Structure 1
Amino acid sequence: MSIIRTRVADDTWVFTSELYLEVNAGLVVTPEGGILIDTLPFPSETRQIIEFAERICPAGIKYVINTVSHADHVYGSYLFPEAELIAHERCREMLIQYAYQALEEAKEHTPELREVELRLPKVVFNEGMLIRLGGKTVHIFNTPGPSPEVCAVHVREDKVLFASDLMMPVPLIASPFSDIEQYKRSLANLHDYNLESIVQGHGDILLRGEVTSSINASIKYLNDIQRVVDELMASGATKHDLLQHDIEQFGRSRIPLGGIVQQFHASNLLFLWEKARQRQRASRQAMRPGLN
């Protein structure tokens, strides 16, 4: 199955997987070489990127950026052995801690992944990093929230932002590594950039007229689900009551990503519900009189 290829600027391309949740990767082409932003989950898909890059970028891929430690973004990195692999320092730590075992388990269930080798980034940074290559300036910066290591990549001259999993058809916070308050701050910080388009971690590319409203809608969604969970918890409602609040009640469509966004939404609600229950229990324990 062919990947979907979209040109978002004269020298910048997006590649979308048709095999796994419409995950996106990107390529910035310069006369001095290319900058690849993430890879696609399966070797057959990433090889299609390589074939395309060989045609339009004869100087080869100089840099590969891992914007997050998730398998669907990093598994193709090993196919670029000559390129410098770049990531946030926390991304490298999380790959070492979690990715090796996860890959071995994935290989047992998915034969195409059996050739995949985990490659660790050698160039790491903390808050941000600039790449200047062939007239392009690429700014990589940390955008924690979905996970502490998530980074966005801003192609300044093209006014394109590769937002990784910070921007999704619906924000996904149902992870032990997520932080909803950091998530909202990272989203709000995107307003500081003059953007013509945003490439989401998964799903459609957001064009100029959608950029500001989509950022604001994501912040509003996170605020709204947080408020609803707190109100239901305070009123003595049940999980069943909670799950009656479907994604469309929060201004989001249930259509993107083959409809799996509704499952993401339900996971978000349950995740926040458990967090609220933990806070409630801790508060009750703190109010108990001490033993004499």
Structure 2
Amino acid sequence: MQRERITDHIIVFRSELYAQVTAGLVLTAEGAVLIDTLLYPEETLRIRRYIEEGLQTRVRYIINTHYHADHSTGNCFFPEVEVLAHRRCRQLLQCRGHESLRRMRATGGEFDGVRLVLPACTFEDTMLLELGGCRFELRHSPGHSPDSITCRVDDHTLFAADTLMPIPYFVDGNSQQLLASLRSLEVEECEHLVQGHGEVILRGEAPAKIASDLDYLQRLQDGVRSGLQRGDQDIEERLSLSDCGKRIDQFHGIIEQLHRQNIQALVNELLAESPTRD
């Protein structure tokens, strides 16, 4: 696990075991706030030891940016800590979390000690948390998933979570909602933009990254619509990653896989929107 201190009081952890998923730690005068946990228990437990033994502080709150296991599995390793999230996050964990945990346990013994922990405090559109002189603005940001949120810390750091990834990904969400959420990031001014996976984006890099993701989604929509109009049966093969303005430059080919899944999800989305013919 990699650890990067991006400000005097904000640290970003990046997994070396699963898809460079990130978690954030914000230190305040009254304790710490953990933004997401990591998928594998050994990495989340290392974060806890670092906080308690290395920094000599404790976690007061956990913020789950959405219900996906790679962001919420580690909740259980902070048993006395209140978890904050969107209302839909709690619902989706209740509905899907137990089956997800069952599948993870079937892969090996490292998940045997994991239990499902639901958010205790939820919100609908926005929520403000103030702790130890720090201000946390939580905002609903659907698209990647129905419950996705962003978290702005003071005026300088935005945890965009999976609204911002190396490639936009909406298989569990909606492409139009993700477009709208990405457009809302365009007006955010901050020194650091923390993706849900991958490297932290600095202020000067943020506009180009967001523009690239918006361009990808627009090209993807145009390409899939055209393919459906022509009656193509192999849109996944015809519409390449480069056609949509992205490259396979990291994550060892996972980007290509996510792109293909996006195409199929968008096909289903557009077909569902089409009027039914008699």
Corresponding position of 2:240: 246
How much does 1:244 deviate? 2.9
Equivalent position of 1:166 in the other structure: 163
Matched residue of 1:14: which SS?
strand
* 1:255 aligned partner, one-letter code: D
Distance 1:242 1:117 in 2: 38
SS at match of 2:136: strand
Change (3 A) 1:276 1:88: closer
Question: How many corresponding residue pairs?
Answer: 278
| Higher Cα Rg, which structure | 1
State how far apart, in whole Å, the 1-side matches of 2:55 and 2:187 are: 31
- What CA deviation, in whole Å up to 9, does each residue of 1:50-99 have, x standing for no partner? 12112454331100011100011011001111221111111000000010
State the partner residue of 1:271.
Answer: 265
The reply to whether residue 207 of structure 1 matches residue 202 of structure 2 is: yes
* Distance apart, 1:258 and its partner CA: 2.2
- 1:90: which partner in 2? 88
Between the aligned partners of 1:85 and 1:214, the Cα distance in structure 2 is 30
Partner amino acid for 1:32?
E
Mind listing any 5+ residue stretches in structure 1 that lack a counterpart? none
Whether the 8 Å CA contact 1:34–1:62 is kept in 2: the answer is yes
Distance 1:186 1:37 in 2: 19
> Which shifted more, 260-269 or 208-217?
208-217
Q: Are positions 1:40 and 2:35 aligned together?
A: no
Evaluate the alpha carbon distance shift between residue 56 and residue 194 of structure 1 in structure 2; reply closer, same or farther with a 3 A threshold. Answer: farther
SS in structure 2 of the partner of residue 87 of structure 1: strand
- Report if aligned partners of 1:146, 1:166 keep a CA contact under 8 Å in 2: yes
8 Å CA contact 2:28, 2:133 repeated in 1: yes
Q: CA deviation at 1:141?
A: 0.9
Match of 2:110 among 109, 112, 115: 112
Encode CA deviations 1:111-157: one digit per residue, 9 max, x unaligned.
Answer: 10111011111111111111111111111111011111001111124
Q: Does 1:234 align with 2:229?
A: yes
User: Does the 8 Å contact 1:31/1:57 carry over to 2?
Assistant: no
SS at 1:273's partner residue?
helix
**Aligned partner of 2:134 among 128, 136, 159:** 136
Structure 2 unmatched runs, 5+: none
Q: Distance in 2 between matches of 1:279 and 1:165?
A: 25
Going from structure 1 to structure 2, the CA distance change for 1:278 and 1:121 (only over 3 Å counts) comes to closer
User: Residue 37 of structure 1: CA displacement?
Assistant: 0.2
Runs of 4+ in 1 over 6 A off after TM superposition: none
CA distances 1:211-240 after superposition (whole Å, capped 9, x unpaired): 11111211111111000111122123221x
Q: State the Cα distance separating 1:253 from its structure 2 match.
A: 2.0
Percent identity (aligned) = 35
> What RMSD, in angstroms, separates the aligned Cα atoms of the two structures?
1.5
Of 121, 124, 144, the residue aligned with 2:122 is 124
> Offset of 1:278 from its aligned partner?
4.5
Tell me the secondary structure at the aligned position of residue 69 of structure 1. coil
Report the AA paired with residue 16 of structure 2: E
Q: Judging changes above 3 Å, is the alpha-carbon distance between structure 1 residues 258 and 36 closer, same or farther for their aligned structure 2 residues?
A: same
* Residues 61, 83 of structure 2: 8 Å contact kept: yes
Which whole-Å CA distance do the structure 2 matches of 1:271 and 1:124 have between them?
28
> What is the alpha-carbon distance in structure 2 between the residues aligned to residue 82 and residue 130 of structure 1?
21
TM-score, scaled relative to structure 1: 0.91
Partners of 1:61 and 1:219 lie apart in 2 by 35
Q: Deviations over 1:239-265 (max 9, x none)?
A: 1x5423221222212122222011000
